[in-house]
């Protein structure tokens, strides 16, 4: 009897501070979880803010400029007295530099990926992959210098009428810049092809080259195509190389030996000058940015869908 | 009869041997082409770096780091640019690292598997593909005019912080994913709360991996030009921001956050876009410095990751 009351007393005495502590602990845990969740939500917030700002500022722009003029006009002179607001010259510049870049990066990147995945020894791969990563990390402004003051003079020796600002050298340098990107994404896709398929092919007497071209590449097509599409998206959004080397004059042409401004180069050009807030020139860079954002988002989405949907299941 | 068959077999054998030789040659040829393709990026980087160093070597002296920019190329220096870069990086570090690590922790350790965490994940991977110049437009609309931060160090630091957030989040998640469940279970078994498990064990064991991602992100931020130009950073800054450390209590001040600034890549772009060749020398020297800094940072990160992979055995 006596002992029972004593234990009862001690338990009530010891439980209540424990309970209090546990409640405090739970609250603290919940608060921490909430803070961490808010941090994770910052990604959603950023996307939302990008879309909101681009639409909000473009909305002001499209009050003055009709959508028809924007998408079909072939002259882009928003800062001139006689202003024209056709985005096509900027889109043409963007596509031309990107196509030149892809013409360089797709074949070389693919060959490098096949080599890394199917031919290179373990040791070579261990050395090559970090180097590819280093290349991705080189600031693009340095490549801009290279395009303007090294590649362009070099090209002018072969083709003397090439202007100092041209899309060709910007595109070529951009192409070299995105080789590592294609190589590493495509290589990942090829390495994901199961070993048994290689072994089956070798057992039939195929050489490495035959196996790579006829077995591995078809099996990894979705990943390789995704690498190309993601590379396009990077080329389209690349800024400093084209702003430095391709010129800042909007020019409706697909001829890479001419100079022309891209969407990104135009944004840089306007931002360098001191435009008043809420002027049409200020709003025009957001309209241009919206087009750029839509283009890259489109390519990224297609890239992800291709990679997910058409992945071969083994 | 038998001799005829023998002859045809021998003839066939010769044909087969010739075919094998041909295929082996093709293999060798492709391996060589592949190696060249793989080396092309590295060779370009080497050419670029040597070109920058050769063009810029007259400016490699202490004077170059202690002089303000000037109208005369020969006496123009990097002082305001490197101080600006350092301060902007400080803000970037202080925003991107806590938010990025917290977001990574939430997504890996806390987030339930539902549409909400899917939404966050899609946003993180989408943000990684948004061109950097779009972040500049976001900052121009939101930080510069929306929040009235102006064209300040704070705006630039926050912008680059948002830009590298996906890099920090992804690398945090990858680092955490490598930790075996058994470690968490052991901690829970001795009565740890979720946060105690996360802060005492998960964060501790993934420190190296997180650090790797942070370094890669910071090196990306240091070379970024486009977003900083877009917020309208001035390119000619002949003063230093107020010192963060003052001689009166409380010994630190935050006026520098509001200060105008320039950073290394912007200074380089400014010199590069002048027609006068004397300024190109300065641009080349700056480019070489930026490349050395980013390569050192990336190299450290890659080495660190290699060490971690080698040393940790669960």
pLDDT of residue A103: 95
Residues A113-143 as b/e (b if ≥16 CB within 10 A, e otherwise) read: bbbbbbbbeeeebeebbbebbbbbbbbbbbb
Give pLDDT tens digits for B193-233: 889 999 999 998 888 889 999 999 999 999 898 899 888 77
Residues 252-311 of B with CB under 8 A from A: 265, 268-269, 272-273, 280, 283-284, 287, 290-291, 294-295, 297-299, 302, 306
**In whole numbers, what is the pLDDT of chain A averaged over residues?**
86
* Preferred mutation among B103, B108, B118, B133 to probe A, highest tally of A CBs within 10 A: B133
Band (pLDDT 50/70/90 cuts) for residue A1 is very low
A187 touches chain B (CB under 8 A): no
A289 touches chain B (CB under 8 A): yes
Give pLDDT tens digits for A130-163: 888 888 888 999 999 999 988 888 888 888 888 8
Using a CB-CB cut-off of 8 Å, the residues of chain B touching A132 are 41
pLDDT of residue A91: 92
Q: What is the mean pLDDT of residues B116-126?
A: 85
CB contact under 8 A, A33 and B51: no
Q: A172 pLDDT exceeds 80?
A: yes
Q: What is the mean pLDDT of residues B259-287?
A: 86
CB contact under 8 A, A137 and B216: yes
Residues 56-85 of B with CB under 8 A from A: none
Question: Number of A:B CB contacts under 8 A?
Answer: 268
Band (pLDDT 50/70/90 cuts) for residue B249 is low
**Residue A55 half-sphere exposure toward CB, CA atoms < 13 A:** 7
CB contact under 8 A, B298 and A238: no
With beta carbons less than 8 A apart as the criterion, state whether B98 and B163 touch.
no
Percent above pLDDT 70 for chain B: 93
Give pLDDT tens digits for B34-81: 999 888 888 888 898 998 888 888 877 877 777 777 777 777 778 888
pLDDT of residue A303: 84
Round to the nearest angstrom and report the end-to-end CA distance of chain A.
72
Q: What is the mean pLDDT of residues B152-165?
A: 92
Residue of B nearest to A57 (CA): B141
Phi first, then psi: what are they for B193, rounded to 5°? -85, 170
Give this prediction's pTM.
0.87
pLDDT of residue B311: 75
Percent above pLDDT 70 for chain A: 93
Residue of A nearest to B24 (CA): A207
Band (pLDDT 50/70/90 cuts) for residue A175 is very high
pLDDT of residue A101: 94
- The residue among A227, A287, A271, A219 whose CA lies nearest residue A73 is A287
3-state secondary structure of A85: strand
Give pLDDT tens digits for A36-50: 999 999 988 999 999
Q: Which CATH architecture has domain B60-311?
A: Orthogonal Bundle (1.10)
Helices (H) and strands (E) in chain B, counts: 12, 0
Question: Where are chain B's structural domains?
Answer: 1-58, 60-311
Band (pLDDT 50/70/90 cuts) for residue A182 is very high
CB contact under 8 A, B23 and A209: yes
Using a CB-CB cut-off of 8 Å, the residues of chain A touching B231 are 271
Nearest to B295 among A116, A134, A209 (CB): A134
Check the CA dihedral A152-A154-A156-A159 and report its sign. Answer: negative
Tokens of B244: 């963060």
């Amino acid at each position: 009897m006596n002992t029972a009351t004593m234990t009862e007393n001690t338990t009530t005495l010891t439980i209540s501070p424990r309970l209090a502590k546990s409640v405090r602990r739970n609250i603290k845990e919940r608060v921490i979880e909430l803070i961490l969740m808010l941090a994770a939500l910052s990604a959603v917030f950023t996307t939302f803010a990008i879309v909101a700002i681009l639409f909000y500022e473009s909305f002001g722009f499209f009050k003055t400029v009709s959508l028809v003029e924007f998408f079909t006009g072939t002259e882009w002179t928003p800062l001139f007295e006689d202003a024209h607001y056709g985005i096509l010259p900027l889109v043409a510049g963007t596509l031309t530099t990107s196509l030149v870049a892809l013409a360089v990066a797709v074949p070389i990147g693919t060959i490098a990926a096949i080599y890394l995945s199917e031919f290179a020894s373990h040791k070579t791969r261990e050395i090559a992959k970090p180097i590819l990563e280093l290349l991705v990390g080189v600031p693009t402004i340095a490549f801009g210098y290279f395009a303007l003051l090294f590649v362009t003079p070099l090209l002018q020796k072969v083709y003397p009428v090439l202007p100092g600002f041209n899309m060709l050298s910007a595109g070529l340098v951009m192409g070299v810049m995105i080789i590592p990107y294609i190589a590493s994404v495509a290589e990942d896709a090829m390495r994901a092809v199961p070993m048994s398929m290689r072994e089956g092919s070798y057992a039939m007497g195929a050489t490495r080259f035959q196996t790579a071209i006829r077995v591995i590449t078809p099996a990894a097509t979705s990943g390789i195509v995704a690498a190309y599409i993601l590379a396009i998206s990077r080329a389209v959004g690349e800024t400093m190389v084209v702003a430095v080397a391709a010129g800042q004059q909007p020019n409706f042409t697909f001829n890479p030996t001419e100079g022309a401004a891209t969407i990104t180069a135009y944004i840089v050009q306007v931002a360098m000058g001191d435009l008043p807030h809420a002027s049409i020139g200020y709003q025009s860079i957001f309209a241009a940015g919206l087009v750029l954002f839509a283009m890259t988002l489109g390519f990224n989405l297609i890239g992800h869908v291709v990679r997910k949907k058409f992945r071969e299941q083994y | 009869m038998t001799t005829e068959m023998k002859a045809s077999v021998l003839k066939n054998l010769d044909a087969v041997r010739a075919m094998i030789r041909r295929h082996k040659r093709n293999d060798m040829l492709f391996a060589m082409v592949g190696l060249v393709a793989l080396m092309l990026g590295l060779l370009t980087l080497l050419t670029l770096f040597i070109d920058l160093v050769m063009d810029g070597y007259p400016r490699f002296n202490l004077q170059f780091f202690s002089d303000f920019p000037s109208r005369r190329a020969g006496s123009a220096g990097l002082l305001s640019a490197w101080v600006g870069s350092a301060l902007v990086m400080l803000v970037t570090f202080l925003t991107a690292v806590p938010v990025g690590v917290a977001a990574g922790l939430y997504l890996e350790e806390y987030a339930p598997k539902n549409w909400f965490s899917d939404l966050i994940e899609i946003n993180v991977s989408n943000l990684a593909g948004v061109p950097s110049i779009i972040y500049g437009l976001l900052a121009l609309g939101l930080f510069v005019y929306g929040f009235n931060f102006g064209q300040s160090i704070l705006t630039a630091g926050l912008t680059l912080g948002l830009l590298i957030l996906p890099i920090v989040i992804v690398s945090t998640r990858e680092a955490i994913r490598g930790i075996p469940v058994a470690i968490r279970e052991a901690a829970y078994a001795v009565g740890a709360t979720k946060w105690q498990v996360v802060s005492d064990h998960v964060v501790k064991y993934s420190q190296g991996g997180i650090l790797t991602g942070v370094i890669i992100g910071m090196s990306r931020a240091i070379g970024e030009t486009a977003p900083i130009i877009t917020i309208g950073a001035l390119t000619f800054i002949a003063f230093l921001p107020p010192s963060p450390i003052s001689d009166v209590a409380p010994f630190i001040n935050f006026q520098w956050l509001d200060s105008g600034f320039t950073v290394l890549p912007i200074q380089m772009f400014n010199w590069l876009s002048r027609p006068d060749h004397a300024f190109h020398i300065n641009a080349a020297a700056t480019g070489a410095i930026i490349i050395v800094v980013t390569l050192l940072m990336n190299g450290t990160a890659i080495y660190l990751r290699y060490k971690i992979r080698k040393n940790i055995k669960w």
